[in-house]
Amino acid sequence: MAILYLKCKTCGVRFYSGIASDIKNFNTLSLINKTHQCPKGHVNVYNKIDYSF
Ligand SMILES: [Zn+2]
C-alpha cells in the first residue's frame, strides 16, 4: 500500500490525503470532487489527477 498525497491548491503544501492505495488499485479508484483540508486549514475540492504517491 502507498499513501496518496495532495498538493494544497491554496498554499501549495503537500499533505496526506487520508487515502491509501496500491498503484494497481489506484487506476480503479474513482476520486471525483472530493473535499480535503490541508494542515493549514484550506479546504479545496480535488479530483483524481490531483493525487500522487
Ligand atoms: Zn493549504
**How far is Cα 21 from Cα 39, in angstroms, rounded to an integer?**
21
26-43 pLDDT per residue, tens: 989 999 999 999 999 999
The Å distance, Cα 6 to ligand 1 centre, comes to 10
**How far is Cα 53 from Cα 44, in angstroms, rounded to an integer?**
19
The Å distance, Cα 18 to ligand 1 centre, comes to 15
DSSP for residue 33: S
User: What is the residue extent of each domain of the chain?
Assistant: 2-50
The answer to pTM > 0.85 is: yes
Residue that the C-alpha cell 479508484 belongs to: 29
Per-residue confidence (pLDDT) for residue 4, from 0 to 100: 95
DSSP-assigned beta bridge partners for residue 7:
14
